[in-house]
Structure 1
Amino acid sequence: MSTPRLSRLSSFRALKHRDFAFLWGGAALSNIGTWMEVLALGVYVTKVTGRAEWTGGVAALTFLPAIVLSPLGGALGDRFDRRRAIGLGALVQMVLAGTLAALAFSGQLTVRWVALLSFLNGCAVTLFTPAFSAMIAVSVPKEDLHSAFSLHSAQNNLGRICGPALGALVIAHADIAWALLLNALSFGAVLLSLTQVRATAAGKPADFGGLWAGIVQGFKVARADEGLTLALGGTLAIAVCIAPFTALAPVLAIQVFQQDAGATSVLVTAQGVGSLLAALAAGTLADKLGRGRLLELTVLLIGPMAAAYWLSPSLPYAAVAVLGLGALYMLSLTGLATLCQARVGSELQARIASLSGMLLFVGFTLGVWLQGALADRLGFRLVTAGAALGFFVFAVLLRTLRSRGFAAFEV
């Protein structure tokens, strides 16, 4: 008789595990600062350069290191203590964010400095994120994996809601320097949360020989498993065709709708609201539809929703469309990440997470730069909506060629 209640609360099950709860809380506070910085830098670059290509290009630099460093980050995450790795990554990011703030306060911030420090921050994120993903996976039992990754996405999008709103407020009443400083301080929340995580949750070093051998093993496992291959391919396609909407919001708000940082904040916040609501409902939806069916449905719908966003005639329409897009984006990537983690043992989870991250980052880097560059030459709406509809064609072909699509790999 308790089944309905459990179904309603299934999205929150992972929070009953102590280690996950501390990891979640620290990351949530830090992400508020991160999204303040994302807004501040996006507005700064857009206003200084006036070009979508520069806005997309600078954002892409954060993800560029994934092309080379993601497999290394995965091997390190499976080889060394994950808690220490995450702490080192937070310290490095704190220093980089502090440097941006210092340059802004001193009046020496330039687009070149933003580009360089974004690239270095991307190196840190690439090297240490696989350890965090693997630590999440070992902090909960397997039956709560979907809940854990949904809540992980929820905290990221909670930051996406609060961060841009706070960032816009700070920029309006002070300067972007203060938004950058608050982001630097926010990494202290991650460091504090790690002091409360039990050592057993950090994972055990993997015994797979040298780093190169570990990297090669991760690729071999992914290639040999049809479910992993399908999930990783879907991640890459979403990254190229859909994910650029997260970085090109300032262009839509400032250049297309002729508005300002407040309009950018509205779009980014609306995306975050949609993602957060979807994350809170993900467990219930997965229980009712099945995880594979839910993933398949979101993959089919995300392309048309993205096209509707890019073709919106005004800011209010765009805000509604991006709310739905944010929900579908969260559900699709969470479903793909859960599928990847559930198909391997703990000794491989960081490496598989790194491959997923690599494809997401590489695809985003290519997609956001290419869409931005083509938009400056062919028209912003034509390029972005065309990419979204191109993904829809890919999803339909995938569903047609595979009789059960992602549902064939129910986890």
Structure 2
Amino acid sequence: MPTEQLTKDRPTASAADIRLRIAFLVSSVGDWIYRLAIPVLVLKISGSATSTALAYAIEFIPYIVIGLFAGVIADRFDRRRVMVLCDLTSGVLALAVTGLALLDDPPLVAIYLCAFLLACVRPFYFPAFQGFLVDVVPEQRLSRVNAWTQTVDSALGFIGPVAGIAFVAALGVWLSALVNALSFGVSALLIATIAFTRSGTAEPVTARGIARDFTDGLRAVWTMKAMRWGTALMALSNLAAWIIEGSLLFLVLEVEKMPKVVLGLVLGAQGLGAVIGGVLAPRLTDRYRLGPLLAFGMGLSGASMVLPVLVPTWWAVLISWGIEGIATSVVIVSWVTARQKVVPSEVIGRVASVSRAAAYATIPLGAMLGGWLVSGTAPTRTLFLCGAAVQAVVFLGTALSPVVRIDDAGPRNARAVEAT
């Protein structure tokens, strides 16, 4: 059903809105530089594929472990200061990587430690950004800003590996790391210049208080039916996607014996689809209710996985994964926007971090299940059939659960914030 909000009534972006988005872009680009500079440095030192892969994979660990608790910090402390501190910490660590890269024989342990600490910063930045976005962006613009951030993420996922490697190769590891540090500094400066006032007095920080806040965050997810169902369904949808995505490389290169360019085309189609979905999402959220739009996105994702089951060829996989990218962006933008409108501002950091940790937790399980399925007979059909079956359950769960009525779950608490 079309919403009552008319396109012509959309508020324009404020100065705080623009600075926050530019800071997000600069900080995200900085993330991509260090993600590639550190593995290149490790490869240069060790010459080991295993050591290099470890340097890249280490970034996912903190999201699952630290991510559960990071939202407490974002809700208890000044979110702007948390984001500035995160960027400054990342900048200092990037400077440490710069120094290590200048050594003749830098110790691998120190490089891994820097990579791990850099990865630990992002779980704190994410819920703080989500909460601060709610603080400074008018509710009517939330879907558009969410779509913008999703488009940035998708575009970086699409061009990041190629552009990042070219950047590191052109400048060298130490200079790339220095530019990385400067990018985090620019992001911190932009966020620090956003003026706002948050009402209320911060409570003294105690272990008991933090534990209570964490429990309150879990309770908020559990007691709000739409959030509880949505968090579980998003995690299950991740499971469906990673059954396929975790084994795409092996499926294309080893099972189907396709050239590497085909794998690049498939992943590129997914990235391009995600960008297209990010562009379309705010137009869809302007016209339709978020609950039915979530169900549509989940259904489109499942339907896209059926094509390779019917026609198990590389071009069918390419089309399928391109449509999957569109569906993923529509789902993410709709879900994040709904969460921002329904969850009280004072607990949104905890709810966001718990939701993300739950979603990330199913990725290893999906990847392992896909690895087992791809080793059997008719691997393309089997892999996509299993993913489609799980996603069909997700679609039905979304359409029949309180998630489809999330628009009526009630407005979140009024913001105790004035932003400029």
Relative to structure 1, is the Cα distance of residues 174 and 148 closer, same or farther in structure 2, using a 3 angstrom cutoff? closer
Instruction: Quote the offset at 1:175 in angstroms.
Output: 5.9
Q: % of aligned pairs identical? A: 21
User: What TM-score results when the alignment is normalised by the length of structure 2?
Assistant: 0.76
Q: What is the alpha-carbon root mean square deviation over aligned residues?
A: 4.2
Q: Deviations over 1:308-364 (max 9, x none)?
A: 5899744x7655543322221121122222222222221111111111122123233
> C-alpha distance in 2, partners of 1:177/1:319?
37
Residue aligning to 1:133: 130
Contact between 1:232 and 1:336, CA under 8 Å: does it hold in 2? no
Q: Deviations over 1:290-322 (max 9, x none)?
A: 2111110111221343575899744x7655543
Contact between 1:293 and 1:407, CA under 8 Å: does it hold in 2? yes
Relative to structure 1, is the Cα distance of residues 247 and 130 closer, same or farther in structure 2, using a 3 angstrom cutoff? farther
Residue aligning to 2:416: none
Residue aligning to 2:347: 348
Work out the number of aligned pairs and report it: 396
Residue aligning to 2:63: 66
Relative to structure 1, is the Cα distance of residues 332 and 123 closer, same or farther in structure 2, using a 3 angstrom cutoff? same
Residue type at the aligned position of 1:274: G
Residue aligning to 1:77: 74
Relative to structure 1, is the Cα distance of residues 286 and 237 closer, same or farther in structure 2, using a 3 angstrom cutoff? same
Instruction: Quote the offset at 1:148 in angstroms.
Output: 2.4
Contact between 1:291 and 1:335, CA under 8 Å: does it hold in 2? yes
Residue 242 of structure 1 aligns to a residue whose secondary structure is helix
Contact between 1:231 and 1:340, CA under 8 Å: does it hold in 2? no
Residue 393 of structure 1 aligns to a residue whose secondary structure is helix
Residue aligning to 2:289: 290
Q: Where does 1:33-48 land on structure 2 (aligned, <5 Å)?
A: 33-38=30-35, 48=48
> C-alpha distance in 1, partners of 2:13/2:87?
25
Residue 61 of structure 2 aligns to a residue whose secondary structure is coil
Contact between 1:64 and 1:361, CA under 8 Å: does it hold in 2? no
Instruction: Quote the offset at 1:134 in angstroms.
Output: 0.3
Greater displacement, 376-385 / 223-232: 376-385
> C-alpha distance in 2, partners of 1:219/1:145?
24
Q: Deviations over 1:99-135 (max 9, x none)?
A: 5565566576899777654433332111232111100
Please say which structure displays the higher CA radius of gyration.
Answer: 2
Contact between 2:251 and 2:374, CA under 8 Å: does it hold in 1? no
Instruction: Quote the offset at 1:371 in angstroms.
Output: 5.0
Instruction: Quote the offset at 1:16 in angstroms.
Output: 0.8
Residue aligning to 1:166: 163
Contact between 1:37 and 1:167, CA under 8 Å: does it hold in 2? no
Contact between 2:291 and 2:405, CA under 8 Å: does it hold in 1? yes
Contact between 1:240 and 1:363, CA under 8 Å: does it hold in 2? yes
Relative to structure 1, is the Cα distance of residues 100 and 236 closer, same or farther in structure 2, using a 3 angstrom cutoff? farther
Q: Where does 1:299-310 land on structure 2 (aligned, <5 Å)?
A: 299-306=298-305
Q: Deviations over 1:143-195 (max 9, x none)?
A: 33222222221222233344334124336667666665554443233113113
> C-alpha distance in 2, partners of 1:189/1:264?
35
Contact between 2:373 and 2:382, CA under 8 Å: does it hold in 1? yes
Selected match of 2:19 from 18, 22, 32: 22
**Unmatched tracts of structure 1, length 5 or more:** none
Relative to structure 1, is the Cα distance of residues 185 and 378 closer, same or farther in structure 2, using a 3 angstrom cutoff? farther
Relative to structure 1, is the Cα distance of residues 182 and 248 closer, same or farther in structure 2, using a 3 angstrom cutoff? farther
Q: Deviations over 1:5-45 (max 9, x none)?
A: 963x88xx576122121111111123234335546678988
> C-alpha distance in 1, partners of 2:264/2:199?
38
Residue 16 of structure 1 aligns to a residue whose secondary structure is coil
Q: Deviations over 1:191-237 (max 9, x none)?
A: 1311321133x786665971111111111121111111011112211
Residue 189 of structure 2 aligns to a residue whose secondary structure is helix
Selected match of 1:92 from 89, 95, 116: 89
> C-alpha distance in 2, partners of 1:253/1:189?
41
Matched, 1:277 2:273: no
Contact between 1:39 and 1:265, CA under 8 Å: does it hold in 2? no
Residue type at the aligned position of 1:238: S
Residue aligning to 1:406: 403
Contact between 1:161 and 1:273, CA under 8 Å: does it hold in 2? yes
Instruction: Quote the offset at 1:409 in angstroms.
Output: 1.7
Residue aligning to 1:334: 333
Contact between 1:235 and 1:333, CA under 8 Å: does it hold in 2? no
Instruction: Quote the offset at 1:60 in angstroms.
Output: 5.1
Relative to structure 1, is the Cα distance of residues 48 and 266 closer, same or farther in structure 2, using a 3 angstrom cutoff? farther
Contact between 1:222 and 1:229, CA under 8 Å: does it hold in 2? yes
